[in-house]
Structure 1
C-alpha cells in the first residue's frame, strides 16, 4: 500500500520582536500509522502559525520509524510502542543518544463488520479468535459464519501491543491476514462480513463497528471511547511516543513545546486521542 507523504509549508504570522528563539522548524517525522493523523494535524497547525516551517509526516509502522532514526533519515520517530532494548543498543552503538517523549495516549478498539450482530467479547474470547482457536462466529454467540482475522503487520507497534496485552503474548493465527496500515484494516473489515480487526479509536468510523470488551471474564463490558480511556475504565490503552536524537533537540524544540502545550493537547483530544493531562 502506498504511503502518503504529507508536507505542510504554510504562511504564518510574524513572531513578536521580543522573541529570541526562531520558531521556524523544518523536520521529518516517520513511523507509527496510529500516530499518523495526529502528527499530520500537529504539522499543519504548527506550520500555519510559524512562517517558513516545513514538517513532513510519513507512516509505515513504529519499527520503520525507529529504523529511520537509526539511519538518520528522519528527525522524529513516532511510535505506538516503547522502544525495544535492541533498538536502543543499536542507536547507542551508532553514537546516538535518544530522548523519549509521550505525546498522547490511545485506546485500541476491536472492530467488526457493521452487519455482525456480535457487540461484545471478553479478552479470553478475543485471544481465542486472534490465535485461531475460535474460528466461527457461532462459537461466541454470533451467526454461523467463518471468522476472518485482520491484523497489522509485525513491524507495527500496534501489532506488538495487541499481542502482548490482549493475546497474553501468544502468536496470532497463521491464517491472520497482515496489513501494512490501519486504514487498510478499516477498509478490509468494512468489506468482509465475517471480519474482525483492531485499530486505534481515532480511526473508528461508520464503516466498522467497535466491540465492547471485558477484562473481568464477562462481568463488565466497556466501550472503546476516549472518555473511557481517559478515565481508565477501558483497559486497552497505551502511550504514544516521539523519539528523537538529542543533537537535534534544539532544532525541533519549538515544535515539541507546541505539542505538549495546552493548545497542542487540545488538538490531541479533537483528533480522537487522549491528552497527556
Structure 2
C-alpha cells in the first residue's frame, strides 16, 4: 500500500480517542504564563482537533489544572456551550448570528489550530486522484464502483457522520462549491440528508468504520487516516490535483481571510489542498468568574510557539503568527 508521506507519524496521534475524556494539568512552565493558577475546566465539542488537544493537554500536565475535554462533535459542543454546561466549547464551524444571539454572556470564537479534511478510503493498491466532478458524484451515489475511478472492480460504500459535525459542515461546503447538483440537493450544513451511505459518530467513528469496511470511502480529519486507510488526491480550484500534506494545507490556508471576527473560510481554494479549515474554541466573553485566569492560562499556552510547533507531526497546521496574535487578543477579552 502507498501511504501518504508523513501520514504514518501523524496517525498515531489519533488513536484511542473515542469518547475522549482528558483529565490533565496546565503548568506555569509551558510558556503560557499563569504562575500557580490551579483548578478544573470542562469543555466539549469538535472531534476534528481532538488528537492535538489530547497531546497539548497531556503536555501541560504538571501542576494541578484539570481540563476535561469531551470529543462529542461540533454540533453537540455548541449545544452544550449554549446550555452553559461547560466552561468552553469547540467547533469546526463558526457559530452563526442566530446562535450567538442566544448567548447573553457574549461569544468569543478563537482559532486554535487548523488542518485538512481527507477523503479517506479502504482499498489497498488503489491510488485515487479525484476531479471535483468525481468527488461530487461519489457522494451523490452516482459513482458506485472503484472501477469507474481507474481501480479494480470493488463496490463503494460511503461512510458519513451521523452526528452534527463541523467536519461535515466544511466538507459539504466544499461539495457545494464544486458540484452544482450537490449545492441544489443536500447542500451544506453540520448535518445533511445523505443520498447514500452509512453513518458513524465522530471522526473516530468514521475512521473505525472505514477500517472495517472493504471498499469504504468517507471524510475525516487527516490525523485519522491510518492504516489500512489512504487519502485521495483532490482537484483544487485551479485544476491541480494534490495530496494533503503540511505544505499543501498551509498553502491553501494562506488564502483564507479570517476577518475581524476570526471566522473566515474558503471552500474551494485555487492553491494547495482544497479542503482546509481552522477550528475554534468557543469562550464566554463575560461571566467566567474566578475561572477567568485559568481559561486565559490554558488558551495562551496552547497558542504559544512550543505548542503550536507540534501541529505538523500530529496532522495539523501551525497557525500563522498573525492569526496567533489575533487569537491571543481574543483570549485577553475573556472576562469575569
TM range (shorter): 0.7 to 0.9
Distance in 1, Cα, partners of 2:165 & 2:230: 22
TM-score (norm 1): 0.88
Listed as ranges, the matches of 1:243-258 within 5 Å are 243-247=282-286, 248=288, 249-258=292-301
Q: Which runs of 5+ in 1 are unaligned?
A: none
Listed as ranges, the matches of 1:66-215 within 5 Å are 66-91=78-103, 95-115=104-124, 117-168=126-177, 169=183, 170-171=185-186, 173-215=194-236
The 1:179–1:242 alpha-carbon spacing in structure 2 relative to 1, beyond 3 Å, is: same
Q: Where does residue 227 of structure 1 map in the other structure?
A: 247
Query: How many equivalent pairs are there?
Result: 267
TM-score (norm 2): 0.73
CA deviation digits over 1:157-194, x for unaligned, max 9? 10111111124444254322121121221222222222
Q: Where does residue 3 of structure 1 map in the other structure?
A: 19
The 1:236–1:66 alpha-carbon spacing in structure 2 relative to 1, beyond 3 Å, is: same
**Is the contact between residue 115 and residue 193 of structure 1 (CA under 8 Å) also seen in structure 2?**
no
Q: Where does residue 55 of structure 1 map in the other structure?
A: 67
The 1:13–1:256 alpha-carbon spacing in structure 2 relative to 1, beyond 3 Å, is: closer
- Give 1:24 shift: 2.5
Q: Where does residue 40 of structure 1 map in the other structure?
A: 54
Distance in 2, Cα, partners of 1:108 & 1:262: 24
Q: Which runs of 5+ in 2 are unaligned?
A: 1-16, 178-182, 187-192, 253-271, 321-336
- Give 1:100 shift: 1.0
CA deviation digits over 1:197-242, x for unaligned, max 9? 111112222220111111258x421011122101221121110100
Distance in 2, Cα, partners of 1:25 & 1:81: 29
Q: Secondary structure at the match of 2:102?
A: helix
Distance in 1, Cα, partners of 2:211 & 2:29: 46
Distance in 2, Cα, partners of 1:105 & 1:252: 20
Q: Where does residue 263 of structure 1 map in the other structure?
A: 306
